[in-house]
Amino acid sequence: MPHPPPSFAAEAEYVEHTAGILRQTEAAVTITAEGLAPVAARVLAAAGSDREPWIWRDDGDEIQPREPGELALLQFTSGSSSRPRGVRVTWANLEANLALIRSTLGWRAGDAGASWLPLHHDMGLIGCLLTP
């Protein structure tokens, strides 16, 4: 489940908000960038987990194919009007969405795009990173 890093919100609010999401998902692993590991550790502790965050390092290994019905990601609502809720997105759902976006936009191999949308936002992740 992609989740935004802390920004302008008070850290205590961010930690509690994100810990609530972790409690709801019962995530088995939390992946973060090295510079965000301390705040990720505080989030895990606030969620009641004794785990440490896993720090992402690109080792060049390719991702193995998954079954279409397997979970690809959890897309969470913003939580602006209620507590965030997770929606399961399978690989089949994700691939259908990508195909629809490419078809609608007339996307061709070699096309390029640019976006200011962050990757924790569904339009940034799916529309601007995965679609191209």
Backbone torsion region of residue 100, taken as left when φ is above 0, otherwise alpha when ψ lies between -120 and 50, otherwise beta:
alpha
CB 48: neighbour CB atoms within 10 A? 9
Q: In the structure encoding, which two tokens stand for residue 64, read together?
A: 């193995």
pTM of the entire structure?
0.55
- Say how far apart CA 79 and CA 62 lie, in whole Å: 34
Whether the CB-CB separation of 81 and 62 falls below 8 Å is answered with no
Tens-digit pLDDT string for the chain (132 aa) = 677 778 766 888 889 988 988 888 887 788 888 888 999 999 999 999 998 988 877 666 666 767 888 888 888 876 677 777 888 889 899 999 989 998 998 888 888 777 888 877 788 888 888 888
